[in-house]
Amino acid sequence: MLKINGKYTTAKVMTELLEESCLAQIHHFVNHQSFTNPVAIMPDTHAGKGSVIGFTMPLPSTVIPNVIGVDIGCGMLSFNIGKDLKMPLEQVDHKIRQKIPFGMSVHEKAVIHMESEFPWHDVSVLAQKFSCAYGERFGVILNPPLYDMNWFMGKCDSIRGGGVRRFINSIGTLGGGNHFVEIGISEQGDYWLTVHTGSRNFGKCICEYWQGMAAKRFLKESKNDAAAEIARLRSEIKDKKVLYEKIKELKAKKKNPGINLKGCEWLEGNEASGYLFDMIFSQVYAEVNRRCIGEIICGILDLSPFEKIETVHNYIDFRDLIIRKGAVRSYCGEEMIIPFNMRDGILICEGKSNPQWNFSAPHGAGRVMSRGQAKREINLEEFKNQMKGIYSTSVGSGTIDEAPDAYKPARFIEEAIKPTASIIGRIRPVLNMKDSQGGSE
């Protein structure tokens, strides 16, 4: 374990296997005024866009949308679907791709009647529980919005991401990058269906909208502060040469404040609560997306799931008020799933409620190569050889950045999680499906 001390907080990094860019992001966070609570970084950590992956911290009074990122509520839903698939894997792959859009594609016709079938009541209950928890921690009363179809339509208009219809038709779609559909076999001989996806373009637009609001406010405040400071200098300094030098120093200080805030501007007050309530909806939207995909696939297979485990890893947990970016809840009595890569399958684990880990565990194996590096260095034939015995139409040049060698070794993660999780089962993949074009996380 590494301990990184900063100006505002300390980060415990549960591994020493990390690249320089990852280390730089952690240093940036612990020296940023919005990171004031104890930070725990999971062993699958690596550098990410906007935030280090594997980040956990109790929620402060200010929030930075880019920390959770654009795929709000991303997670995995696993179903135990019994001991018989009823059809060949090749046929399963073909039928799933016929019914589930991958990549940037969406359904031509909605798979859910948004007004009558979306769980509006569940969103409202979750928001109310969050408001109570937030009030207990910060002594501030938050008033949740009325979540309904009118709220959703207004939100779609304000975030401008393709319109209401596209957001509705995105439910029941997988996306690209590291998102996947996988069928595997447990040690007991049961087949498990796992769906890994999130809030699609809706969550992306929510993040970008609120991060944009934070950036605009910071720019306005910076200009106002600079103007006020210059006015003060003009009133106090009569020597024009001295005044010129002081103004020059002020502008240089504003240009280089000591820490780069670009992309890490924060929200507070009403703006923070606005983002948090939008995030609550986005998390439920992501859950509904996974559920719809699972139901469609179970319909294809003519199977009914009799056991499920859902594990979310890009979110603010509104039960314990912990931020988790590329990390999952880990509490005694609660099951979680931790996937490795396309070849090595999934662990079923139970949490240990370890406060040193912020009651968290890694969300996967974690990258050891950036996508660009993987595309340059991983051999396609080796990738194909590694996937022998697993049916997949997703092994090719477009997904080489998802090859097993792009991720940390499974054994490393198994050893690293011992303080925070117990392994209670393993699922070996027999079918793996991704968007063939690859992409970003």
In the prediction, which pLDDT does 41 show?
98
Indicate the CATH number of 2-212+263-383+411-433 among 3.20.20.70, 2.60.200.20, 3.90.1860.10, 3.40.605.10. Answer: 3.90.1860.10
**Residue ranges of the domains in the chain?**
2-212+263-383+411-433, 217-255
| 437 vs 152 pLDDT, higher one | 152
Query: Does 120 score more than 60 pLDDT?
Result: yes
In the prediction, which pLDDT does 437 show?
64
**Gap between the Cα atoms of 82 and 188, Å rounded:** 10
Distances (CA, A) of 351 to 292, 322, 332, 418: 27, 15, 5, 10
Chain mean pLDDT for the chain: 92
In the prediction, which pLDDT does 223 show?
65
In the prediction, which pLDDT does 440 show?
46
C-beta of residue 433 within 8 angstroms of C-beta of residue 194: no
- Residue 254: pLDDT band (50, 70, 90) is low
Q: Per mean pLDDT, which range of 95-99, 171-175, 259-263, 412-416 is the poorest? A: 259-263
Q: Per mean pLDDT, which range of 111-120, 156-165, 283-292 is the poorest? A: 156-165
Q: Per mean pLDDT, which range of 120-124, 129-133, 163-167, 238-242 is the poorest? A: 238-242
With 0.85 as the threshold, say if the pTM is over it. yes
Smallest CA-to-CA distance from 310 within 296, 285, 331, 328 is with: 328
Query: Does 168 score more than 90 pLDDT?
Result: yes
Share of the chain above pLDDT 70, in %: 95
Order of strands across the sheet that contains 53-58: 2-5, 10-13, 39-46, 53-58, 322-325, 314-317
Which residues, in sequence order, are CB contacts of 212 under 8 Å at separation 6+? none
| 11 vs 17 pLDDT, higher one | 11
- Residue 441: pLDDT band (50, 70, 90) is very low
pLDDT in tens, 61-82: 999 999 999 999 999 999 999 9
Share of the chain above pLDDT 90, in %: 83
Q: Give the residue-averaged pLDDT of 350-355.
A: 98
Report the greatest alpha carbon distance in the chain. Answer: 88
Q: Give the residue-averaged pLDDT of 162-191.
A: 95
C-beta of residue 42 within 8 angstroms of C-beta of residue 361: yes
Which residues, in sequence order, are CB contacts of 22 under 8 Å at separation 6+? 45, 46, 47, 52, 53
Query: Does 318 score more than 70 pLDDT?
Result: yes
In the prediction, which pLDDT does 218 show?
82
Query: Does 328 score more than 60 pLDDT?
Result: yes
C-beta of residue 334 within 8 angstroms of C-beta of residue 425: no
pLDDT in tens, 38-54: 999 999 999 998 899 99
In the prediction, which pLDDT does 235 show?
83
- Residue 18: pLDDT band (50, 70, 90) is confident
Which residues, in sequence order, are CB contacts of 257 under 8 Å at separation 6+? none
In the prediction, which pLDDT does 170 show?
97
Q: Give the residue-averaged pLDDT of 412-431.
A: 98
- Residue 140: pLDDT band (50, 70, 90) is very high
C-beta of residue 85 within 8 angstroms of C-beta of residue 92: yes
Q: Give the residue-averaged pLDDT of 338-363.
A: 98
